[in-house]
Amino acid sequence: MSGNAGLKPRSLAESGVKPFRSRDVSILFSSTTINKSRLQISRRTSTSTGTGLNARKSIRKSIYGNQITINDFEIGKKLGKGKFGKVYCARHKKSGFICALKIMDKKELINFKVEKQFRREVEIQSSVKHVNCIKLYGHFHDTDRVYLILEFAIHGELYKLLKKKGKLDEVTSSRYIYQIADALSYLHDRHIIHRDIKPENILLGFDNTVKISDFGWSVYSNQSMKRTTMCGTLDYLPPEMVEAREHNYKVDVWALGILMYEFLVGKPPFEEEFKSSTYKRIAQVDLQVPSHVSPEAKDLIQKLLRYTPEKRINLKDIETHPWIVKNKPHWDEINLEEGV
């Protein structure tokens, strides 16, 4: 794909997500209805432990191998909006299971010629089972729309937290970067490149757990395979993309460096008013780290944001980097509720 065809603009919309409590049920769920559809849940539904395990088992038992209608769910408030659809909070009436329902218009998918991309998104996300990746429980469709049943992240987009606080402290940032690095390492071991890491695609769950979401630009690719599609978000593009060179899984490593910088500084490192200026700074790796960033954090950012992909730090080595080691003992002191 040439030019900027694969670029996605940064979202400025508020997600509207609030921490969910039992007393909020009447507020969270509205009378919004969706046309009847037939539903089948994927055999690859997660069996991981954690909050809501019994509810997940109940919903699997209730609908596995059977067809039910959308009327078996209560549809709640809109959580977010993307280029190809909207995401709502939903609850399975019988079990009380809370999930997110991503709804996309078939005509839009066809008009933008992304049917193949959508099928790949479903295939990849349904195979992913990692605590720091949003789970895909199943999918269904009707005459006009397709639907993805996704894990509900109670605190919504990390972008919302960043916008409210301006930037994150190093203890909080280190915990989030550690988790995202672990998730990306998991994906890469399974030959999956995400290709769209950014705050809008990182969700926050319970206990300061971050969740990678939106696998729309993800692809299968072994570590030696090179890709050519220019995709993702402008501020997070690596030099090999802006220079129209082939790329591989190392684009996710670069994006992690941009994300870490934005956590600590409050904006991406190469952000400029004009796209051409941003492209130029990325290609030159014109990196300027503010003095308030610790030496350990600066070192990791520089190791993530290297021009040559092969010289970027191995994700598995982040766990033992001095910045992570220094901050890890303080992770239990993080109080997310103060920031959301």
Buried b (16+ CB within 10 A) or exposed e, 226-254: ebeebbbbbbbbbbbbbeeeebbbbbbbb
Q: Which two tokens stand for residue 307?
A: 């021009």
83 is annotated as contributing to ligand binding: yes
200 is annotated as contributing to ligand binding: yes
CA distance 175 to 190: 23
- Tell me, yes or no, if 196 is annotated catalytic: yes
274 is annotated as contributing to ligand binding: no
Note whether 257 and 301 are within 8 A (CB).
Answer: yes
Buried b (16+ CB within 10 A) or exposed e, 79-109: bbebebbebbbbbbeebebbbbbbbbeeeeb
- Which member of 196, 252, 299, 332 is catalytic? 196
Contacts of 63 (CB under 8 A, 6+ apart): 39, 40, 41, 72, 138
153 is annotated as contributing to ligand binding: yes
Q: Is 320 exposed, middle or buried (0-12, 13-18, 19+ CB in 10 A)?
A: exposed
151 is annotated as contributing to ligand binding: yes
**Range list of β-strands (E), the chain:** 6-7, 38-41, 68-69, 73-82, 85-92, 98-105, 136-141, 145-151, 156-157, 192-193, 202-204, 210-212, 219-220, 231-232
214 is annotated as contributing to ligand binding: yes
102 is annotated as contributing to ligand binding: yes
CA distance 223 to 126: 21
Contacts of 70 (CB under 8 A, 6+ apart): 34, 35, 36, 37, 39, 147
Work out the number of other CB atoms within 10 angstroms of the CB of residue 209. Answer: 18
What SS3 string covers 203-263? EECHHHCEEECCCCCCEECCCCCCECCCEECHHHCCHHHHCCCCECCHHHHHHHHHHHHHH
- Active-site positions read 196
Question: Residues within the annotated binding site for ATP?
Answer: 83, 102, 151-153, 200-201, 214
As annotated, the binding site includes 83, 102, 151-153, 200-201, 214
